[in-house]
Structure 1
Amino acid sequence: MVLTPPIEPMLATATDALPAPGALPGGLALEPKYDGFRLIVFRSGGRTQLLSRVGKRLDDAFPEIAEAAAALPEDVVLDGEVVIMVNGRLQFGALQQRVNRAAHTARRLAHVQPAHYVAFDLLQRGTTELVHEPYRVRRAALEDLFTRHDLTAPWTLAPVTADREQAQQWLTLWSPVGVEGVVAKGWDQPYRPGRRGWLKVRHRETGEAIVAAVTGPVAAPDTVLLGRYDEGGTLRLAARSTSLTPALREDVGHVLTAAGSGHPWADAHIAAAWGRREELEFTPVEPDHVMEFLGDVAVDAGRWRHAVRALRLRADIEPDDVPRFGDGHSAGAGPARMRR
């Protein structure tokens, strides 16, 4: 049986720590989670397709990967991530530039900042479908594919280990170069398209930012929008929180004051979610209070891509003492998704 595009990739459920060894069938296979785009590579019958997680064709965005796939000596369906390294760090913003540009521009960028494909699963080889095979069988076939054909750049084989200490190093020591966390798979698990059968844990760090706006009522906010001042003194959107706990909602509501028309975000339009066109309904507040938060390492142009967890108000820190916008994190390409 031959797989046909599109295919929904298997997904992972977030967890706060590395799972116990027996959490998944057959024990844990641990892989680093890179800061990249999920990409399914179809190479079948002389045709090549690169598909995003939601089935969007990305052949034009990553021509070097499409050409390398077309040159493979056998038909395959691969699951993995496409990444771009800039100045020693994986840059998500560089990937976004490719997706949103014309084909000729993406091809030019491919010469300046080439992409690599990190393969971590093999779903089909030749006419043999592997999705029903356990991960240990798929992994062995993937390693054989790389060895038999001596695959080199832009191909990269994702490392895998059963050693929890090694995985913990990926979580901590590798985060500065763009490793977001670790994905745990069961050695005996089949590949279930569209299902959340894996587990993932992200590296997280605490930080501080200014409470600049809220969703929901000011007296009991649902979430907070956090800002940092840039070097020019402009308050920039840095992060949006997940839902506040009831206790923190009460603490925050007691000190916040709705801002007037002079607030720098009074006329701003903020996307409801990363990459979405829908606008968020929010209320600006006086930027007088600092929030400590817990966020992952996926930061683009100074803004946290994923929602952060608000921890507590920091009455001991003044807004002027908060790190500047972009300090200590990736200066990825493109502006924060706030427009006036």
Structure 2
Amino acid sequence: MQLPVMPPVRPMLAKSVPSIPPGASYEPKWDGFRSICFRDGDEVEFGSRNERPMTRYFPELVAAATAELPERCVVDGEIVIATDRGLDFEALQLRLHPAASRVRMLAEKTPASFIAFDLLALGDDDYTDRPFSERRAALVETLADAGPSIHVTPATTDLDTAQRWFHEFEGAGLDGVIAKPLDGPYLPDKRVMYKIKHARTADCVVAGYRVHKSGDDAVGSLLLGLYTADGDLASVGVIGAFPMATRRELFTELQPLVTTFEEHPWNWGAHVEPDVVRRYGGGSRWNAGKDLSFVPLRPERVVEVRYDHMEGQRFRHTAQFNRWRPDRDPRSCTYAQLDQPVTFRLGDIVPGLG
């Protein structure tokens, strides 16, 4: 492979801001695997944010790149799996499997798409020093005939349109808006873009904790639950960003609430069988071999957390501690308190997607 921009390349990053800034180019924030695609003839490589190749996990995108991209190019984008219900990050995560046979099976069952949003090189030309407005125009022109697996993300310079996208597109599984300076070059691993994500709060039941890796006298993370309409306590995620002094204080404070699994709604935790744990929503989506054991607590304490959005019945990302809610009845912590985004079709955002 001989390209003007060679792998590995760390993608350009975005920093969080509370509101959409004026005077920029705006795009939907796709919820998938960030990846830079390198194509030189029959050679194709998909890099990841941590510079590790992802090529072997997405054979269908290798074929798509050969068929739909220019002969020699470097394109920044996002790998997603689109369904008629929106983006499916869980299905995407399942693709990171060591068995090639399973990867091939999933590639046929749940094929991925590549959403392109920046052009780093074309032919013998390095585009990284050019302003984003020029890179964007070249990307649109270069990929005008791409598809059905490779798509160009929509973009606008109209702030009102970006505000509308921010609210509407969440219903398709997107999690915010990206703002890019029009005159900026491509700067690998630099946070020069801006991301605006949804921020919400929820009151959750603290149903258990995991011990901190430093020892058995500190809390590593708190396990959160919400009650379903049927009255069952479902696992929705964790919070774990605490100073060490707070971790030790929590460990002491929570001891009176420690109970047995026989008296706890999540008695699957006593066995920690990965398939059973995941079925009940308490498992690790990132590491199937991770120790998922926890200390069960009587579900009597309520905490208010910050989260961006839900994926199915769980928080998409790790929630953040906001404050304790001693005034709340744990039984009042239900799914009914959560915002429900208006359903939005992916095909209305990118024709042919989903």
1:120-142 per-position Cα deviation (integer Å, ceiling 9, x unaligned):
00100011011111111111110
Deviation at 1:58, TM superposition (A): 2.3
Could you say which residue in structure 1 is the equivalent of 2:297? 285
Q: Is the Cα contact below 8 Å between 1:258 and 1:283 reproduced in 2?
A: no
- Give distance in 2, aligned partners of 1:51 and 1:227: 36
- Give distance in 2, aligned partners of 1:208 and 1:73: 50
User: Which of 75-84 and 304-313 deviates more?
Assistant: 304-313
1:148-190 per-position Cα deviation (integer Å, ceiling 9, x unaligned):
xx11211111111122222222222211211111111111111
- Give distance in 1, aligned partners of 2:52 and 2:219: 36
Matched, 1:275 2:273: no
Unaligned stretches of 5+ residues in structure 1: 22-26, 331-340
Matched, 1:36 2:32: yes
The structure 2 residue matched to 1:146, chosen from 132, 135, 143, is 143
- Give distance in 1, aligned partners of 2:163 and 2:252: 38
- Give distance in 2, aligned partners of 1:251 and 1:67: 52
Deviation at 1:78, TM superposition (A): 0.6
- Give distance in 2, aligned partners of 1:126 and 1:39: 20
Whichever residue aligns with residue 10 of structure 1, its letter is: M
Q: Is the Cα contact below 8 Å between 1:181 and 1:200 reproduced in 2?
A: yes
Deviation at 1:307, TM superposition (A): 2.1
The equivalences for 1:1-340 within 5 A come to 2-18=4-20, 20-21=21-22, 27-71=23-67, 72-100=69-97, 102-147=99-144, 150-214=145-209, 224-228=222-226, 235-241=233-239, 243=241, 257-262=256-261, 263=264, 264=267, 265=269, 275=286, 284-297=296-309, 299=311, 302-315=313-326, 317-323=328-334
- Give distance in 1, aligned partners of 2:56 and 2:219: 43
1:183-204 per-position Cα deviation (integer Å, ceiling 9, x unaligned):
1111111111111211111123
Deviation at 1:59, TM superposition (A): 2.4
Deviation at 1:38, TM superposition (A): 0.8
- Give distance in 2, aligned partners of 1:266 and 1:177: 37
Q: Is the Cα contact below 8 Å between 2:93 and 2:286 reproduced in 1?
A: no
Q: Percent identity at matched positions?
A: 34
How well do the aligned residues superpose, as a CA RMSD in angstroms?
Answer: 3.8
TM-score by length of 1: 0.78
Q: How many aligned residue pairs are there?
A: 319
Q: Secondary structure at the match of 2:103?
A: helix
Unaligned stretches of 5+ residues in structure 2: 342-354
Whichever residue aligns with residue 5 of structure 2, its letter is: L
- Give distance in 2, aligned partners of 1:298 and 1:122: 31
- Give distance in 1, aligned partners of 2:65 and 2:105: 19
- Give distance in 1, aligned partners of 2:320 and 2:17: 14
Deviation at 1:57, TM superposition (A): 2.5
- Give distance in 2, aligned partners of 1:222 and 1:164: 41
- Give distance in 2, aligned partners of 1:328 and 1:28: 29
Deviation at 1:67, TM superposition (A): 0.5
